[in-house]
Amino acid sequence: MKYRPRLRSFLAGLGAAIVLSTALVAVLAPLLVPHDPFAQDLGSRLVPPSWMVGGRPANLLGTDQLGRDYLSRLIYGARISMLIGVLTVVASGLIGITLGVLGGFFGGRIDDVVMFVITCRLSIPLILVALSVVSLVGSSLIVVVLTLGLLLWDRFAVVARATTMQVRTQDYVAAAWGAGCSRFSILVREVLPNIAHHLVVVATLEMALAILLEAALSFLGLGVPPPLPSWGLMIAEAKDYMFFSPWVIMVPGIALFVLVLGINLLGDGLRDLLGAARDA
Amino acid sequence: MVNFIIRRLLLAMLVMLTVLTISFALTRLSGDLAVSIAGPQATAEDVAIIRKAYGLDRPEIVQFFDWARSVASGDLGRSYLYHTPVADLIANRLPVTLTLGLVGLCIALATAIPLGILAAMREGSLVDRGIMLIAVIGQAMPSFWLGLLLIIWLGLKLQWLPISGVDEWDGYVLPGIVLAFSAIPALMRLTRSGMVDALASDYVRTARAKGLSRVSIVLKHALRNAAMPVVAVAAVQLGFMLGGSIVIEAVFSLHGVGYLGWESISKNDFPVVQAVVLFLAALFIVLTLFADLLNAVLDPRLRTG
């Protein structure tokens, strides 16, 4: 695609800046928060952000329905979103890449099985199944990560399979066969490094999706349990007050939107940079 | 072709069987169903009564085959909560979800196709980049949050549209817009890339040489060829939308199938949960089957594969 390179690299840089600064905020959260994100103060509930009428300097982004400092909760929320995003990508990447590489490399019956498993996964209604699992097993951060990891591997598998099929026929793989390398060593040393750049792009897409899904699950009351400050949960808890003070859903919503946008822009930038194929 | 269809049908049935097994296993995740149904205050006797009444004292494998047999004969079980057949519950809620899905799909296509065409016609320009940026922004928008924003602005501030319920047709507009957002990026990219290929093809060059107008070339020649893959993907997207409408139904209090599933999950009504999972999966399987057959009709090379 012949887009203007300056705009393109600006957007990619913007994405990288958003993701890096969110990661930094997540790591340094305890040092950054002005207040305890869990400390309630029922005397000062729903204080608007400091630049609005009735706001006060102590609570830059105001307080929530229980008087907890919104900025502090937002900062701790970054931890949850980043944690969910990264861990889900690790879990789903392990499953999806293993399946995809095996199917693409060995072909035949093994590939049929892999394709069948992918088809089954795609047929399952994602959110409904995730909700049921969290509801039945009990809601906690780790359950959400495992559930999403077990459900979101499909794109990893599809891309790993397709790219492995291409790499399999390359000369250097034939050379490795000829040199007497084992299957395992060919998979790990020849195939994986040469499809890795495609998988990095998929990882950004899946990270964005995982963060959105966690927020949706928490919004529906079956994600991360309160009082943890998940951004989705913050929106759900603030929903009843949004008609009188719309900022209560604006603050966590914008944070969520900006982070996911940043990850997607970074992914697009990486795709251009690494020359990975566009899928979907 | 017949071989291909038979293969595809067999595959669809195998997938269906697998989903049947998964949806059964899913509801057994909590360990003891009877305890979950009885609730936290129940005594050991209550649990025992429930276990007997719902046939949960039988071995799991017997329960599974019992359920599979009744599903095969069209009986999806009875709700613990409403004491009515689950099939009736789903049938009652289905029109809402189907209407919502179709409204969403129409809005998505009506937005994605013109924008995709425009981007392809101005490939590489700032217009193209701007349109693709809209796709990225659309992908990043949390659907439930977008729904709440639309409720505040369009529904409450401007009072253009109702904010919940579907007593009138216009109740579907806001949720339809939100649902469409999830499908627009993929459809737009596909339209764009299909149109870029079509516009660069020989038959378009011939049409240009014949002196046909730009509008006629784009709409009659190029679009016709670019549209078919879009139709196939639209069918799959509709499947995703029907499965994903649960969040939007919750935001707008639409009592559709997704809402039924959500309600049943929070009230431990397991027969409904497993039936809704199975039903939505079946819808998706049928829609992808349609898309595959459509692709096979369009591209004979696929039939042998």
* Closest by Cα among B168, B284, B211, B237 to A123: B284
Question: For chain B, which ranges sit under pLDDT 70?
Answer: 30-31, 161-168, 299-305
The three-state secondary structure class of B78 is strand
Residue A278 has pLDDT above 60, yes or no: no
Q: What is the average per-residue pLDDT within A120-126?
A: 91
Q: Which of A135, A242, A243 sits opposite B266 (nearest CB)?
A: A135
More confident residue, A45 or B139: B139
Record: contact A125-B156, CB cut-off 8 A: no
pTM: 0.89
Could you tell me if A235 lies within 8 Å of chain B, comparing CB atoms? Answer: yes
- B71, two tokens: 């599903």
Task: Count Cβ atoms below 10 Å from residue B55 Cβ, excluding itself.
Answer: 11
**What integer pLDDT is reported at residue A280 of this predicted model?**
37
User: Of A162-176, A193-207, A232-246, B153-167, which gets the smallest average pLDDT?
Assistant: B153-167
Rounded to a whole number, what is the distance in Å from the CA of A279 to chain B's nearest CA? 10
Write down the ipTM of this complex. Answer: 0.87
Q: Which of A215, A228, A211, A195 is nearest to A262 (CA)?
A: A211
Cα separation values, A97 from A88, A160, A205, B155, B186, Å: 13, 6, 15, 45, 23
Chain A residues 5-64 with CB within 8 Å of chain B: 7-8, 11
Report the pLDDT value the prediction gives residue B171, as an integer from 0 to 100.
Answer: 80
pLDDT in tens, A65-93: 887 888 999 999 999 999 999 999 999 99
Cβ within 8 Å of A, B 120-139: 123-124, 126, 128-129, 133, 136-137, 139
pLDDT at A110: 93
Could you tell me the two tokens for B269?
A: 């009504």
Separation CA B224–CA B236 (nearest Å): 20
Comparison of pLDDT for B123 and A266, the residue scoring more: A266
Query: Are residues B149 and A216, on separate chains, in Cβ contact within 8 Å?
Result: no
> Which pLDDT score, from 0 to 100, does residue B31 have?
65
End-to-end distance of chain A based on CA atoms, in angstroms?
16
Kind and range of the H or E run holding A127: helix A126-137
Q: What are the b/e assignments for A64-74, b being 16+ CB within 10 Å?
A: beebbbbbbbb
Angle at A215 between CA A214 and CA A217, to 5 degrees: 65
Q: What percent of chain A has pLDDT over 90?
A: 50
The string of pLDDT tens digits covering residues B100-134 is: 999 999 999 999 999 999 998 888 888 888 888 88
- The span from the CA of B30 to the CA of B270, in Å, is 11
Per-residue tokens: B48: 């025992």
Across the strands, what pairs with B304?
A: none
pLDDT(A174) > 80 = yes
Determine the pLDDT at residue B35: 74
Q: Which residue has the tokens 């990043």?
A: B140
Q: What was the pLDDT predicted at B300?
A: 64
pLDDT beyond 80 at A253? yes
**Residue pairs spanning A and B at CB distance below 8 A:** 143
pLDDT of residue A138: 84
Angstrom distance (rounded) from CA B220 to CA B196:
15
Query: What integer pLDDT is reported at residue B74 of this predicted model?
Result: 80
Q: Searching chain B, which residue's CA lies closest to the CA of residue A1? A: B124
Residues 28-47 of B with CB under 8 A from A: 29-30, 36
Instruction: Find out whether A97 and A187 touch, Cβ atoms under 8 Å.
Output: no
Detail the DSSP E strand segments found in B9-151: none
Q: At residue A212, does pLDDT exceed 90?
A: yes
How many other C-beta atoms can be found within 10 angstroms of the C-beta atom of residue A2?
8
Q: Is A189 on the interface with B (CB under 8 A)?
A: no
Residues B243 and A125: beta-carbon distance below 8 Å: yes
Give the model's pLDDT for residue A162.
92
The pLDDT of residue B92? 92
Q: Which of A14-23, A52-61, A239-248, B153-162 shows the lowest mean pLDDT across its residues?
A: B153-162
Q: Which residues of A are less than 8 Å from B148 in CB distance?
A: 235, 239, 242, 249, 253
pLDDT given at position A94: 96
pLDDT at A266: 93
Q: Which residues of A touch B143 (CB under 8 A)?
A: 216
Tell me how far apart the 2 most distant CA atoms of chain A are, in Å.
76
3-state SS, residue A37: coil
Q: How far is CA B150 from CA A59, B103, B145, B281, in A?
A: 27, 17, 9, 30
Give tens-digit pLDDT for A216-227.
999 998 888 888
- The better pLDDT of the pair A142, B36 is held by A142
Q: Dihedral angle at the C-alpha atoms of A147, A149, A151, A156, nearest 10 degrees?
A: 180
Instruction: Give A-chain residues touching B129 at CB under 8 angstroms.
Output: 3-4, 7-8
- How far is Cα B213 from Cα A149, in angstroms, rounded to an integer? 52
Distance set, CA A223 to CA A147, B255, B284 (Å):
10, 22, 25
Mutate to test the interface with B, among A2, A112, A116, A128 (most CBs of B within 10 A): A128
Using CB atoms within 10 A of its CB, is residue B255 exposed (0-12), middle (13-18) or buried (19+)? middle
Q: How far is A35 from chain B (nearest CA, A)?
A: 26
Check CB contact under 8 Å for B129 and A3. Answer: yes
- Pairwise CA distance, residues B240 & B17, whole Å: 20
